[in-house]
Structure 1
């Protein structure tokens, strides 16, 4: 029935997972740094972070994907030419996809982490200072563990959305399972069949992810009374 194309599509699923994990890693770093910048009293930090969060969330993912893949290459080559470099710099599809998705969802995680940090009582910061801790140590040892518990529900939602958004990388030619399903559907003239396979794989990935992140939420909620912030 599937003419051997299912294995081909599942091979693309591995690349899809690599794209999702790489993107989420970048997004997490950008989100955390952006959240701290937004909470900074210094405008030189909070204004750019606020602009990043607002602008990126207002532009469609597909538009940003194409801008980074095509516009980013041209911008990099123009810059290199001005510096006297004669070669050509090319973004490969995987790098472009990971960087773009990480950049996009970093903007969403800025708000996720900012809200979680604000959800930690101010008294926790004051307790750290009272023990002689610096601001960075207070954040890492006292605030961060509590912030993670508060951030996990929204973080889970962003991860699920990002995982599904990896299908967008097919438009720049990355051989993920979406592009492979299109190729299989075109070759067999049964596109609906292979799109169902892709949908089932995405559902399996998101279901497993949801279960694992729920376990993480329970782990960070140990010792916390229900309804307590």
Structure 2
């Protein structure tokens, strides 16, 4: 075996970069959907509670792989219709966009429950203190609720992100050339299945370790004021 893995070293590096981009894109979308879902489920309005609960239950009840396939193939006619309106009848959703939406949708459904639990863990007296100070509901949310919610939710979100990074391998079924897709191509060309799948395993392990380091830093930063007040 040569240093560049039979000539596939650069391809695996490109696949790693694609995996990171896909995971971060899905994370950004998932955090927004999760926060909106949690706010809906903790809202006093029954309609919003129903919408948040339906989203969380429906998405979590279907495997991630099916969501990838449904979004990628299910939007073909929709994208063609939009393309016809803008003069591009061959318009379609790219594998990267479909994968980001599908994984973000799934991440958001689980993040909804993490955020919801974090919101419910905040003592009710904190909201009452904000009201006593004359703060509006919006300022109470942004200045009191969300910072505390973020600190409480971080460990759960970190675990979800590590799962998300491994779930990016599912997007290889629709042709996105991330780590697993690049590894499969290398295996087909070189017939060295064990070598390339072992390399892929170490790449995922390395990404997980980096995510754990980043999560530790975020948790430490989020807990600074809390630690000082508790001491």
The reply to whether TM is greater than 0.5 is yes
* Structure 2 counterpart of 1:7: 10
Q: Which sections of structure 2, spanning at least 5 residues, go unmatched?
A: none
Looking at structure 1, the residues matched to 75 and 118 of structure 2 have their Cα atoms a distance apart, in angstroms, of 33
Matching residue of 1:57: 60
- Asked if the contact 2:81/2:89 (under 8 Å) is kept, the reply is no
Q: Write the distance in 2 (CA, Å) between the matches of 1:76 and 1:7.
A: 33
User: What is the RMSD of the two structures over their aligned residues, measured on CA atoms?
Assistant: 2.0
**C-alpha distance in 2 between matches for 1:219 and 1:150:** 12
CA displacement at 1:87 relative to structure 2: 2.1
CA distance in 2, matches of 1:190, 1:74: 40
Unaligned runs of 5+ in 1: none
The match for 1:173 among 167, 172, 175 is 175
2:133 to 126, 131, 134: 131
Give 1:77 deviation, angstroms.
3.5
**CA 1:71/1:42 → structure 2, altered by over 3 Å: closer, same or farther?**
same
Question: Structure 2-normalised TM-score?
Answer: 0.92
Counterpart CA distance in 1 for 2:75 and 2:193 is: 33
CA pair 44-89 structure 1, distance change in 2 beyond 3 A: farther
Q: Report the equivalent of 1:18.
A: 21
| 1:67 aligned to which of 55, 70, 73 | 70
Distance (Å, rounded) in 1 between the aligned partners of 2:117 and 2:91:
39
Residue correspondences, number: 226
CA distance, structure 2, for counterparts of residue 200 and residue 14 of structure 1? 15
